[in-house]
Amino acid sequence: MSRDWIKGNAVIGQSGGPTAVINQSLVGVIEGLRSGLQAVGAVESILGMRNGVRGLTRDELVDLGALHQDRLDLLAMTPSAALASTRDKPDSAYCERILQACKRNNVRYFFYIGGNDSSDTCRIVSEMAAADGHEMTCFHVPKTVDNDLVRNDHTPGFPSAARFVAMACMADFLDNVSLPGIKINVIMGRHAGFLTAASALARRNDRDATTDGPQLIYVPEVAFDIDRFIGEVEEVYARKGRCHIAVSEGIQDKNGQSIGATLIKNAQVDAHGNAQLSGSGALGDQLADLLKSRLTPAGGKAPRVRADTFGYIQRCWPDASVVDRIEARRAGRQAAAFALQGHRSGSVAIVRTGKGYGGEAYASGFERIELADVAAKTRHLPPEFLQGTHDVSQAFLDYCRPLVGELPDFERL
């Protein structure tokens, strides 16, 4: 049974902050197209956008058709975005240029791998193409270490970053036990605290924060109060002679004001109007200075306070979660499969079909959702994943643990 496929080229782009598995999704789309729409004759060339839609508008396209499967396999295991990425957030005029580039290059199948801004770009381009009468299938493939896409159980990129955060906090907690003091680790996540919450996996066997660290976890979803923070650190430090803290770069006060932006003078502001939080140790250093000055007893010695900012390596660390590798690849293939089924637009969402705890094996599948259902929306840590002002719940640990793969056990004397 043959169908009247729109014949033309397919284009794939990568957008936003890269991850350890975003190339898995790129390769997944290529594989899905090769065995699907290209095999049935609908897709002629498979093209890659250089630097996402920015390159597309300039016709900076790479032919991905000649890549041997061996090279694709190595590319999939390579962290970061092989096509290069962009932080551009297109407005209508920009999307119009994207559409013109698609028409110019006879693009009939458009795949964009990215977060919520990218799904919104995909939505606008899809609507513009329809209004223009340019028949073009548009699919969004999810990607973000922040895990903040709605309608997804979790997003490709998050499990690997969570794995890094858990291992880093485990190692650094033991370092803090060895040379005691107050230690702050600043973790990515401008709006959602999932990645910072994953620091709780550093504790062994779901034991609580009274045994293993981090003892205090601060996420953007819980209003950050500087005086309460200092009191909580003081309490742990008085009891244990040390304190291990995980802080999201996105912590905010009860009015939604970013603590980082407030503390950091001269913060750089990017094209989206966001203060620069990553790629600088400023927030951690400011919090450390605050603790030093506020916790020094009158006439006494300042406590040893140190801050590390995990920085960009947390999103691209090469030891990716196995679950993440597999799901990111499948998400890309699935987008191509939905297009083969005749869907004209959509986003691929991960659905958990096996819990991965309580005796039930972990399993996941995919569903097609409308672009408008995910575009430009932000998912936050739900209340049931939080516990008190500075911890996560058992429900979060149950949710997160199956995603990150095996973590090293450790022993203490």
**Site residues (CB under 8 A) for its own copies?**
14, 17-18, 20, 48, 62, 71, 74-75, 77-87, 167-168, 170-172, 174-175, 177-180, 183, 268, 276, 278-282, 284-285, 288, 302, 305-313, 315-319, 408-413
The minimum distance between CB 287 and its own copies, in angstroms, equals 11
3-state helix, strand, coil in the chain (%, to 5): 40, 20, 40
Amino acid (1-letter code) at residue 360: E
Tell me whether residue 95 or residue 169 sits nearer to its own copies (CB atom).
169
The minimum distance between CB 175 and its own copies, in angstroms, equals 5
The minimum distance between CB 382 and its own copies, in angstroms, equals 29
The strand order across the sheet containing 43-49 reads 61-63, 43-49, 8-14, 107-114, 137-142, 345-355, 362-369
- Alpha carbon distance 341, 363 (integer Å): 24
Q: How far is CA 399 from CA 153, 194, 370, 394, 405, in A?
A: 9, 11, 25, 8, 12
The minimum distance between CB 61 and its own copies, in angstroms, equals 12
Q: What is the CA radius of gyration of the chain?
A: 23
Token duo for residue 204: 């062994």
Catalytic residues: 146
Tell me whether residue 58 or residue 228 sits nearer to its own copies (CB atom).
58
- Alpha carbon distance 152, 173 (integer Å): 31
Tell me whether residue 17 or residue 36 sits nearer to its own copies (CB atom).
17
Q: How far is CA 9 from CA 108, 150, 185, 352, 408, in A?
A: 6, 30, 46, 33, 46
Q: Which helix (H) or strand (E) holds 349?
A: strand 345-355
Whose structure tokens read 């979790």? 154
The minimum distance between CB 85 and its own copies, in angstroms, equals 5
Tell me whether residue 47 or residue 340 sits nearer to its own copies (CB atom).
47
The minimum distance between CB 171 and its own copies, in angstroms, equals 4
Strands 345-355 and 43-49: unpaired
Q: Which helix (H) or strand (E) holds 219?
A: none
The minimum distance between CB 340 and its own copies, in angstroms, equals 25
Name the residue among 334, 397, 332, 390 with its Cα closest to residue 367: 334
Name the residue among 249, 230, 244, 233 with its Cα closest to residue 190: 249
Tell me whether residue 100 or residue 276 sits nearer to its own copies (CB atom).
276
The minimum distance between CB 50 and its own copies, in angstroms, equals 9
Tell me whether residue 158 or residue 338 sits nearer to its own copies (CB atom).
158
- Alpha carbon distance 263, 289 (integer Å): 11
Tell me whether residue 235 or residue 319 sits nearer to its own copies (CB atom).
319
- Alpha carbon distance 191, 342 (integer Å): 35
Residue 358's Cα: distance from chain center in Å?
27
Name the residue among 225, 222, 227 with its Cα closest to residue 196: 222
Tell me whether residue 87 or residue 151 sits nearer to its own copies (CB atom).
87
